[in-house]
Amino acid sequence: MKALSINEPWASKILNEEKTMETRTWKINYRGDILLCASKKPESAISGHAFAIAELVDCRSMTIEDEWEAACSWYMGAYSWIFKNLRKIEPFPVKGKQGLFEVEYDR
């Protein structure tokens, strides 16, 4: 399954449904389910673990209107990755990587 590492505190905000989009400086054409993983640092209760599956439904240039859902301020060159259908999972350890990466996960 395609996976994405997310730094804290944004990973926990997604898990707690306080954030419905992630921002990146790169665009992606992939659409579909994606395994969300919390980076190892900074440390938190979910650091270094996969914590949810979400459907990536769109990726487009970030606008100022995206700030609330992204839980961050607009910045030059940002893309909004829009998630729907968040499904929390039993956390399991994952060695994160930059960019999208593959993780074996049997739903």
pLDDT in tens, 56-89: 999 999 999 999 999 999 999 999 999 999 999 9
Which pLDDT score, from 0 to 100, does residue 26 have?
97
Q: Could you tell me the domains of the chain?
A: 2-102 (2.30.130.30)
DSSP-derived letter for residue 42 is: S
Which carries the bigger pLDDT value, residue 98 or residue 79? 79
Which pLDDT score, from 0 to 100, does residue 55 have?
98
Q: What residues contact 106, with CB distance under 8 A and at least 6 apart?
A: none
Which pLDDT score, from 0 to 100, does residue 96 have?
85
Sign for the pseudo-dihedral over CA of 31, 36, 39, 42: positive
